[in-house]
Amino acid sequence: MKNDNHPLTEEHKALSEALIGVLDTRFLKALCDPTRIEILKKIISIGVSDVSTIARGLSQDRSVISRHLAQLEQAGITVSRKDGRRVLYDLDGPYIVEKVTKILNTLHPMADLCRPFEGWDGAATLESQRS
């Protein structure tokens, strides 16, 4: 995007200010760790399970898995329910999809408004092609 003859529109301003509201760091950080991704895969594969079942097969200690599950729950990615001495965990698929959908909807104007170096040099741009 060029900044000399292309005035910054209100859409740019709105997009800029919407970033911080939609980029939930707690949600995104929860999806960055490979162990937590393994946990999500496991829950998807075997369904609702307790901590020990989820930890079975994974290389980390069970207490570590417990901490990761707490972190995923803080992010809204998993939900827990007490069942006797066990604690069952499950994914909150609708919430995850809703969250990512909101992110995409917010960032979507970037596809048009933020084309890299649009109209910056002699490359073929819409303007140069028209003239």
**Pattern 70-109, binding to its own copies, x per CB under 8 A?**
---------x-x------x-xxxxx-xxx-xx-xx--xx-
52 binds, among DNA, its own copies, none (CB under 5 to 8 A by kind): DNA
CB 15 within 8 A of CB 109: yes
By beta-carbon proximity to DNA, the closer residue of 34 and 94 is 34
By beta-carbon proximity to DNA, the closer residue of 12 and 67 is 67
Q: By CB under 7 A, is residue 74 in contact with DNA?
A: no
Stretch that binds DNA, among 4-12, 16-24, 44-52, 118-126 (CB under 7 A): 44-52
* Type of residue numbered 69: L
The DSSP result for 74-90, as a single string, is HTTSEEEEEETTEEEEE
**Pattern 16-55, binding to its own copies, x per CB under 8 A?**
xx-xx--x-x--xx-xxxx--x--xxxxxxxxxx------
d(CA 45, CA 24): 27
Phi-psi region of 58 (alpha: psi -120 to 50; beta: other; left: phi over 0): beta
Q: How far is the CB of 106 from its own copies (least distance, A)?
A: 10
Q: How far is the CB of 44 from its own copies (least distance, A)?
A: 4
CB 115 within 8 A of CB 31: no
Q: How far is the CB of 9 from DNA (least distance, A)?
A: 25
